[in-house]
A and B are shown apart, each in its own frame.
Chain A
Amino acid sequence: MSSTIRVRAVASGGTTVVQALINHPMDSGFVKNSKGKLIPPHYIEVLTFEHAGKKVFTAFWGPAVSKDPYIKFTFKGGAKGDDLKISWVDNLGKHDSLTAKLVG
């Protein structure tokens, strides 16, 4: 199925601004469903970004991060066309990854 990761990575003036939005329920384990039963915790724990084989950013997330989580950061370097590898794994062991191209 299509990737759960949507990313915008713009490289300009020697720095790359990265924004990512991930399709994930991020259930905290405190919310009840319509039948009054607690929805079990299901949230992304680790999210990593790699550029030119080097980790440029790592996020450790918990149940307090919003559904369909968003992240924005900037790193020095990166040029148009470079690869940016994004991968996440959650507390149930599910995972997904995507390699995106930096845009100019």
Chain B
Amino acid sequence: MHAPTTTRRFTLSLLATSCLATTGLLAMPRAAFAFDAPGWPAAAFSKKTEADAIAALYGQKLTASDKIRLEAPDIAENGAVVPVSVSTTLPNVTRISLMASHNPFTLAADYVLPAGTEPAVACRLKMAKTSDVIAIVESNGKIYGARKSVKVTLGGCGG
């Protein structure tokens, strides 16, 4: 995750974002119109790249781990409802986050698991286009990641 690719990724996703959203919306700082619930990691949710979101949320490098089972479809039936489930055998898991690399805002969901809650969660996410779903698990204070590519295409013949 060294600097050059970040800036390239940054510009690329910015391009994708601008074609998706009116620039007017983006010019407005996120917090301006949003009432932020207590504890809600606003900064992390406003980041547009995987690296920035991870940095904002955890502030440490991500190391891949094969102890995380990330289930997501190969081809999404509908990009608006992508069933994703994460489970792991890593010990003392306190947090699980889910990201979609090419979404306008990369961080999709962030779950806090107090002691006594099992390290597994299932939910349904929206994906802007074909990209990776990334699961990040915080175990004993360190973060581990797994990724899976999900193909997202338009549905039907859309005459």
Interface residues of A (CB under 8 A from B): 15, 26, 28-30, 38, 40-41, 45-46, 54-67, 69-77, 89-93
Contacts and interface: CB of A to CB of B under 8 A. Distances in A.
A52 to B, nearest CB: 11
Interface string B2-38: 0000000000000000001110010000000111111
Interface residue tally of chain B, by bracket? 35 or more
Nearest to A71: B123
Interface of B: 20-22, 25, 33-41, 45, 80-82, 85, 100, 103-105, 107-114, 116-118, 120-128
Question: Of B21, B85, B112, which is in contact with the most chain A CB atoms at under 10 Å from its CB?
Answer: B112
Most buried by B among A60, A61, A72: A60
A66 B111 contact: no
Contacts of A63: 105, 126
B121 A93 contact: no
Contact of B109 (A40, A60, A90, A93): A60
Contacts of B37: 45-46, 89-91
Given A62-B45, A71-B121, A41 B34 contact: yes
B104 A66 contact: no
Contacts of B38: 46
Nearest to A77: B116
Contacts of B121: 71-73
Contacts of B113: 57, 73
